[in-house]
Amino acid sequence: MDRISDLPDCILLHILSFLPTKTAFFTTVLSRRWTRLCHDLQHFEFNQIQFHNGNQTSSDFSSSRERLFAIVSRILFRHKAPPIRTFRLTCDLHQFDEYPVEWFIRKVLGPNLEELNLQLAFVCRSNRKVVIPNGVFSCTSLVTLRLNGDIKIPSPPSSSCHYHLPSLKTLQLYNVETYNVGELEEILSHCTALETLILDLIVRSRMGQGQLRICLPFLKSLHFESCFWNPLGLFVIDTPSLKRLDIQAVSGFREIRVRNLHNVEEARINIAKQSFVLEFLVELCRIRILVLRLLVFDCLPDAPLHRIPEFTCLQRLELTVRCFDTRYIMDMLQKCPMLKLLAIIFNAGPYDKVYLFFVPRIHFCHENEHPVKVPTCLASHLKVIKIKRYFESRDDRDFFAYVLQHGLVLESLDIQVDRARAKRFPEELSLLPRRSKVCQIKVCWNQRQLL
């Protein structure tokens, strides 16, 4: 019995809005009603994969693109009303394909457009880019803007043309090119309601003294990673409502200023410059979850201990390291009195393992180098220690003996060990005395429990 046909048009249109546009148009074979409904769609999603014939040949990819463009052109040309609210396009491009894509964008622009999502990539290596029409950055109804791939943000054609995005809450720019970082700052300054910001940019600015200010009062989530052809002068983050922060390799600036990060609950930092890392850590002293990735390991262990702030609310700490630097780990534990979970992740390829023996600043602690005062978290709060991709073999046993001896509330020590250590290491570790009666040691190799 056909019950779905008894539903009103508004509900059927809502159901169709969750389907890829090609799939939704398959319903036109059912009846004239479904044909009319498809022409009343307000949400469009086109993906080149849906137009493949199943062959992985270059000719099939080319023909699928042609079929995609033909369908998009036909639908947009015939679409009159109601206004388009969502437009998503994912496809590969060939030479001169940027012109029809730019026409698509202009066609869907309107006072009711709420989401624009473009994922575009030229198949052949070239400097060709799809230039986003300036009207996108003055679309007052736009709530979500996601641009990914061979896309360029243009400059306003005149001083009378201004950026204006008062409704925008999510802005995601991946591998997008802009000629001048000042244009990006101008766009952000007009996104007054922005809550989520992802910037993964390529800036070709020839200006050596540019600056970028991210001063957004309602921003809750920020991911920033950029590549600058020339170093810029100043990078400022001032976001009092921020909850989640992810900063990657901020090395294209000469100076950084961080303010109003007191509400951040979770942060991931991967920066190679010590002064920049410390700038963030001081501002994040009340954070709950902190992830310090590999580039931080290359600079932070050399920082004076008094420069690292105390994280009074930190409950989870994740450290990515090249080797087992016991002093670095113990110094961080001293600064985290409320820590409940410590995760140590090894990230070293074959060249990094050789690298360890030639870098004099790597600190391997011996027994007499352990702190006189047991870290507060180890004696009162630390319950779980996780170590992934472990491979070192020198003085690390002292660290394991220390945390097992002084971990009064330790419940679990989980180690994912390297293949070369999988034979004898579990037995050696099981012989170490444990202060906590409930502590369990789990050693795994390739997700298979060994002990």
Q: Tell me what percent of the residues of the chain surpass a pLDDT of 70.
A: 76
142 with 168: CB under 8 angstroms? yes
Q: Which amino acid is present at 116? A: L
> Looking up tokens 């802009």, which residue turns up?
178
Q: How confident is the model at residue 428 (pLDDT cuts 50, 70, 90)?
A: confident
Residue 414 tokens read as 């989980």
Confidence of residue 279 (pLDDT cuts 50, 70, 90): very high
Mean pLDDT of 256-270: 94
Asked if residue 158 has pLDDT above 70, the reply is no
Tokens at residue 391, please? Answer: 């491979």
* Residue 184, pLDDT score: 85
First to last CA, the chain: 58
pLDDT beyond 60 at 215: yes
Instruction: Tell me how crowded residue 43 is: count the other CB atoms within 10 A of its CB.
Output: 19
What local confidence, expressed as pLDDT, does residue 281 receive? 96
Q: How far is CA 190 from CA 55, 137, 166, 167, 183, in A?
A: 45, 9, 7, 10, 11
* pLDDT tens column, 98-116: 889 999 999 999 889 999 9
Average pLDDT in the 287-311 region?
Answer: 94
> Does the pLDDT of residue 39 top 70, yes or no?
no
Quickly count: other Cβ atoms within 10 Å of residue 152's Cβ.
Answer: 18
Residue 20 vs residues 90, 92, 133: alpha-carbon distances, Å: 11, 18, 25
Q: Are 268 and 246 in contact (CB under 8 A)?
A: yes
Closest residue by Cα to residue 154 from 108, 116, 100, 204? 204
User: Residue 295's pLDDT is what?
Assistant: 92
Q: How far apart are CA 163 and CA 144, in angstroms?
A: 15
pLDDT at 179 over 80: no
Q: What is the mean pLDDT of the chain?
A: 82
pTM: 0.84
Predicted confidence band of residue 352 (pLDDT cuts 50, 70, 90): very low
User: How sure is the predictor about 395, in pLDDT bands with cuts at 50, 70 and 90?
Assistant: low
